[in-house]
């Protein structure tokens, strides 16, 4: 069965989906996006994703394309038309629209909306215990990383560095030596004292929806956590490390650069949070 995409009010075969050459998302990265995980055919944390989308649009002064109720209907229809009854994701991109090329905002822009969906393998513990490798790179991004903009070139370059180094992710490091986040994930460590640590959400990182859910699950489980910066050296000496995102879920990191973390296997807290998140995805709370 061919995939179906949504483009500005029309559902069409994925291979035929296109936007205008002067769409400002294409020419200026003048747009934002969201990636929503699908579990058992239902979207996970749809509501907070739409809240973040609205915030990102507001920060860029892009008019919301439609009501949240209408947007939810379109998302559900994209999932239905692509027959995703198991695990998958939906990608949504919203730009300022099509206009004559000029850096300043056009006078009366028509917001553009594109959505696609695809199936993903079922999440499981297979391979999770072994963890993944990460490398460290300088964070060269702009100072509004809290906006989920389509301007991802720095992340693309960092992810490519990771792939060429045989790593899963690249952890970005600011000018003071502190880890900000991965190229497509939030970064976490577990200290020798058992404290869960992740950077506080501000303009230096994207406040991941999975990040917020993991913090909520940690609090419910009575896990001590603190939101603060941590250095590369602290991460390399940590008891555990992991990254989170809609597609990574909770992904243990067992090597950073040439340093093996602890015993080189996923730690107990990482696995506990992975299991808790897997259970959470099928709850009514996640599908509200």
Q: Note whether 4-119 and 132-287 share their fold.
A: no
User: Is the per-residue pLDDT at 73 higher than 80?
Assistant: yes
Could you give the dihedral angle defined by the CA atoms of residues 158, 163, 165 and 168, in that order, rounded to the nearest 10 degrees? 90
pLDDT tens figures, 38-56 = 999 999 999 999 999 999 9
Q: Which of 252, 246, 255 is nearest to 269 (CA)?
A: 252
Q: What is the pLDDT of residue 126?
A: 80
Contact 257, 13 (CB under 8 A): no
For the chain, what is the largest distance between any 2 Cα atoms, rounded to a whole number of angstroms?
A: 59
**Segment 149-164 mean pLDDT:** 98
Pick among 3.20.10.10, 3.30.413.10, 3.40.630.10, 3.40.50.2300: CATH of 132-287: 3.20.10.10
Considering the candidates 42, 100, 148, 159, report the single residue annotated as catalytic.
Answer: 148
Contact 242, 254 (CB under 8 A): no
Which tokens go with 133?
Answer: 């490798």
Helix, strand, coil content of the chain in percent (nearest 5)? 30, 30, 45
pLDDT tens figures, 95-147 = 999 999 999 999 999 999 999 999 999 888 887 999 999 999 999 999 999 99
Contact 180, 204 (CB under 8 A): yes
Domains of the chain, residue spans: 4-119, 132-287
What angle, rounded to 10 degrees, do the helices at 68-81 and 46-59 form? 120
pLDDT tens figures, 194-229 = 999 999 999 999 999 999 999 999 999 999 999 999
Instruction: Give yes or no: 118 in active site.
Output: no
Tell me yes or no: is domain 4-119 CATH 3.30.470.10. yes
- Owner of token pair 């215990």: 129
């Amino acid at each position: 069965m061919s995939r179906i995409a949504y483009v500005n009010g029309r559902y069409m075969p994925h291979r035929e989906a296109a936007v205008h050459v002067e769409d400002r998302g294409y020419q200026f990265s003048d747009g934002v996006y969201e990636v929503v995980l699908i579990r058992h055919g239902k979207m996970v944390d749809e509501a907070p994703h739409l809240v973040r989308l609205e915030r990102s649009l507001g920060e860029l002064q892009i008019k919301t394309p439609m009501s949240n109720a209408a947007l939810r209907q379109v998302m559900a229809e994209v999932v239905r038309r692509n027959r995703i009854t198991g695990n998958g994701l939906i990608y949504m991109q919203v730009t300022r629209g099509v206009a004559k090329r000029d850096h300043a905002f056009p006078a009366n822009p028509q917001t553009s909306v594109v959505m696609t969906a695809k199936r993903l393998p079922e999440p499981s513990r297979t391979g999770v215990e072994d963890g993944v490798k990460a490398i460290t790179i300088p964070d060269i991004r702009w100072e509004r990383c809290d906006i989920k903009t389509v301007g991802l070139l720095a992340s693309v370059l960092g992810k490519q560095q990771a792939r060429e180094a045989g790593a899963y992710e690249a952890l970005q490091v600011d000018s003071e030596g502190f880890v900000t986040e991965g190229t497509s994930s939030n970064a976490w460590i577990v200290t020798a004292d058992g404290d869960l640590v992740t950077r506080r959400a501000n303009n230096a990182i994207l406040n991941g929806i999975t990040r917020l859910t993991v913090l909520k699950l940690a609090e419910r489980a009575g896990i001590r956590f603190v939101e603060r910066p941590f250095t590369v050296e602290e991460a390399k000496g940590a008891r555990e490390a992991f990254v989170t995102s809609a597609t990574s879920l909770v992904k243990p990191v067992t090597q950073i650069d040439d340093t093996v973390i602890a015993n080189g296997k996923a730690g107990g807290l990482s696995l506990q949070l992975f299991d808790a998140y897997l259970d959470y995805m099928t709850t009514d709370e996640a599908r509200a």
